[in-house]
Amino acid sequence: MDVASQTIMANPGGGTLSESTLIPTLVGALEGSISVLLTLFSGFVMAKIGYLDHKSVRHITKLCTNLFLPCLIIEAMGPDLTLTHLSKDWIIPIWGLASTLLAHAIGYVGHRVMKLPYWTIAACGRPNSNVLPLLLLQSLDSSGVLGAISRDGEGSSTLLRRAKSLILLNAVVQQTFTFQLVPGIIARDKPADEDAVERQGGGQDRLRPGPGRINPALHNAERVGLLDDIDHHPEDSDDSERTRTGDAYRHALDGIADRPDYHWPHRLQFLENPVKNVAKHVSPVLLSAVVAFIIGATPPLHHAILDEDGVLYSSLTQSIINLGELFVALQAFTVGAELALVKSSDPGKLPTVWVLFVRFIVMPGLALLFVFLSAGRGLYVDDLLVWFLLVLIPAGPSAMLLVSVAELVNVDQGEIAGYLTVSYLFSPLMALVCSSGLSVVATVAKRVPGM
């Protein structure tokens, strides 16, 4: 066990915060931050030497978002996503949303005053809300730092599960908010160079309608309906002209797709548009949160799926746990790989410095001030872990999905990728945020008797 673990875990029955733990906390948080950076770097190196390409990374990212993260949400949030727990921990999603809106507002001020690109607004406002905090929490737990904010008698595994649940609760809010607001912001920047997109290998992965079933159409090459009548001249009767015209007609017909006419049953057509409109705004992350809430709030389902003696725990639940555990490290790995594969360009010194200033100084500072002024005054739950996460949630580098959003709205990704590469190199600064957060939590805890 390292020095941080020995010092912080001196009281195994419950965590204690004191000034003597600050240096070991800083060391432990730095170890965790470096662990995160090394995971990202592994993905970066593997992509650079050719083990991964843009298409494979895109597929892995979709797997993480559409399968592994929903499984993690159901497994981690299900036990705590009940009305009782939400009534206690409501401050986490509310502060997550409020801090994001505030950060976007600060980014907008910088955009207007310094004439920065629109992507800087989203980069200021959208932190990495799932991969980085989850991986950092795992590292902090292994180094013993989290033991300082545990409840009396709370074990390490229980504390980590509770921390994951709260982080994922915020991630659901952030993810839903991002895809409602951020595309409209980033879309105001300059369009992507289509040739550059093709060169970096992303062109074939762009979002576009499916081709349908392409069936050969049988037509007389000498006669193609009205098309043949428009420019037909008797004098153009030599073989070469006829061949050229026939080839042109056939080329025009090559793109015709025999797409099936999918439609709702006549009796249900009145539901088609409402259902499609709702489906546009429901992501797998939000859907999995709804499923987790239903399971957690329904006693028979909770017992059957989430309790270890439940009838489905050893089969269904264990498979969900296995899939969910793949998310954190694999998504961090693919973040590093995507940074290596997306063709980056110079984002400029002013935009980079401004966004880094907001993400690593302004937002952590505001979070520390918020906790210092509001915690321990009866406004929300008196829980050391919740207070610490209120500091952690708004801090850190911007979300990697900004590159995906830029690709979705056909905006140049180069500057965003260049900035993100720099920002993740600064991720060890999260050690200072963690250390400062625990220091503030230690101060605030003195307001509550018995803490």
Ordered DSSP codes for 145-162: GGGGGPPTT--HHHHHHH
Given the structure tokens 């509550």, which residue do they identify? 448
Contacts of 116 (CB under 8 A, 6+ apart): 110, 350, 351, 354
Q: Exposure pattern of 70-85 as b/e (b: 16+ CB <10 Å)?
A: bbbbbbbbbbbbbeeb
Angstrom distance (rounded) from CA 122 to CA 370: 22
- The answer to whether 313 and 78 have CB atoms below 8 angstroms apart is no
Q: What pTM did the predictor assign?
A: 0.74
CB atoms within 10 A of CB 438: 28
Q: Exposure pattern of 184-207 as b/e (b: 16+ CB <10 Å)?
A: ebbeebeebeeeebeeebbeebee
> So what's the pLDDT on residue 372?
95
> So what's the pLDDT on residue 7?
43
Phi/psi at 326 (nearest 5 deg)?
A: -75, -20
Given the structure tokens 């009782």, which residue do they identify? 84
- For the CA atoms of 10, 13, 19, 22, the dihedral, rounded to the nearest 10 degrees, stands at 70
Contacts of 91 (CB under 8 A, 6+ apart): 380, 381, 386, 390
Q: What is the DSSP letter of 190?
A: P
Q: Which is nearest to 96 in space by CA: 25, 196, 9, 167?
A: 167
Task: Find the helix or strand (DSSP H, E) in which 232 lies.
Answer: none
Q: Exposure pattern of 264-301 as b/e (b: 16+ CB <10 Å)?
A: eeeeeeeeeeeeeeeeeeebebbebbebbbebbbeeeb
> So what's the pLDDT on residue 227?
47
The tens place of each residue's pLDDT in the chain, 451 residues long, gives: 444 444 444 444 445 555 555 676 777 777 777 887 888 899 999 999 989 888 898 899 889 888 998 898 888 888 877 777 788 889 999 999 999 999 999 999 999 999 999 999 999 998 887 778 887 888 778 777 777 787 777 777 888 888 888 988 888 888 877 777 888 888 888 776 544 444 444 444 444 444 444 444 444 444 444 444 444 444 444 555 555 555 554 544 444 444 555 567 777 777 777 777 776 667 788 888 888 888 888 888 888 888 888 888 888 989 999 998 888 889 889 888 888 887 777 888 999 999 999 999 999 999 999 999 999 888 999 999 999 999 999 998 888 788 878 877 888 788 888 898 888 888 888 888 888 888 899 889 888 887 6
Quick one: angle between helices 156-186 and 401-408, nearest 10? Answer: 30
| CATH 1.20.1530 residue spans of the chain | 3-202+283-445
CB atoms within 10 A of CB 225: 9
> So what's the pLDDT on residue 183?
83
CB atoms within 10 A of CB 228: 16
Contacts of 92 (CB under 8 A, 6+ apart): 166, 169, 170, 386, 389, 390, 393
- The answer to whether 434 and 396 have CB atoms below 8 angstroms apart is no
> So what's the pLDDT on residue 239?
52
> So what's the pLDDT on residue 13?
41
Angstrom distance (rounded) from CA 149 to CA 388: 8
Phi/psi at 428 (nearest 5 deg)?
A: -60, -15
Q: What is the DSSP letter of 191?
A: B
Phi/psi at 140 (nearest 5 deg)?
A: -65, -35
Phi/psi at 385 (nearest 5 deg)?
A: -65, -45
Angstrom distance (rounded) from CA 54 to CA 205: 8
- The answer to whether 256 and 216 have CB atoms below 8 angstroms apart is no
> So what's the pLDDT on residue 8?
42
Angstrom distance (rounded) from CA 57 to CA 417: 15
Q: What is the largest CA-CA distance in the chain?
A: 102
Assess if CATH 1.20.1530 describes domain 3-202+283-445.
yes
Given the structure tokens 């206690």, which residue do they identify? 88
